[in-house]
Each structure stands twice: as structure tokens, then as C-alpha cells.
Amino acid sequence: GHVDFSSEVSSAVRVSDGAIVVIDVIEGVCIQTITVLRQAWSENLSICLVLNKMDRLIFELQLTPLEAYIHMRNIIEQVNMIVSTFHTSDVMALAASTWTPTDNEKEEVVGEDEVDIENWATHDLNDIEAQARAAGLL
């Protein structure tokens, strides 16, 4: 994920079956890590996360095993949150592209400061989820 290799990463993900994303546990998730994860996601690659330089947590930062575990778990949670934003973005884009208002929705006008919660039905969410499953996003 280093910025010096961004052009090589862009080319490599197009011809790869998977991506190994290496994260330095001291530096954690960086901007280029997010870029690499996004590129791998957009090419539908399987992502394998590798945490590198774990010995530095003990020798340099003097962390206890529990503190090192919590630090590494937080990095993994960060990566999971980043990837979940990509997934959410795909689902929302699919929902926006396939949504057509009903006649009732076309006639309803909601003021700028009002939120029409009563007409938001759970079946709408179920429809969006079904469309996402059909598109292979869930």
C-alpha cells in the first residue's frame, strides 16, 4: 500500500485472483491501505489480510501480550469497517439505480424540515435487501 507502488497495484489487481494486503502493526491502516482495499474490492478479489512486524509491538512498544492482541484486533476491526463501507456503498448504489417511485410517492410532498417516517415501510428495506442478494452483493 505504499504510495510509490500505487501504479503497480492498479495494474496487478486487474490480472489477479486475490490480494494479499500487508499492514505494519505499528503504522496501522494508512491512506494507501484504504486505496488498495478499494481497488481489490472493485475488482472482486478475495482479500487476505496479513499483519506484519508484530515483534515490534513487544520489543519496541513494550506492549503486554493482551495489549498487543487488542492493538491487532483494532487494526482488523478498522479493515472490516473500511470494507463494510464499500459493501454499503454498492448496496445503496444498487438500490438507487433500481428504485422507482410509486404513484402515491410521486404525489406525496414532504416539507424540507419534515421526515415522513410513517410511510417508510420495512418491506422497502426487504426489497432493497432482496435486490442486493440477487445481484450477489449479500
**pLDDT tens digit sequence for 84-102:** 999 888 888 888 777 776 6
Mean pLDDT of the chain: 80
Best CA proximity match to 23, nearest among 74, 66, 62, 59: 74
Are 86 and 38 in contact by the 8 Å Cβ rule? The answer is yes
- The whole-angstrom separation of Cα 81 and Cα 62 is 28
Binning pLDDT at 50, 70 and 90, where does residue 131 land?
Answer: confident
CA atoms within 13 A on the CB side of 3: 2
Q: What pLDDT does 13 receive?
A: 78
Q: Which of 4-13, 20-29, 108-117, 129-138 has the highest mean pLDDT?
A: 20-29
Mean per-residue pLDDT, 16-24:
90
Best CA proximity match to 57, nearest among 46, 68, 43, 49: 68
Q: What global pTM score does this model have?
A: 0.65
Binning pLDDT at 50, 70 and 90, where does residue 62 land?
Answer: very high
118 vs 92, residue with greater confidence = 92
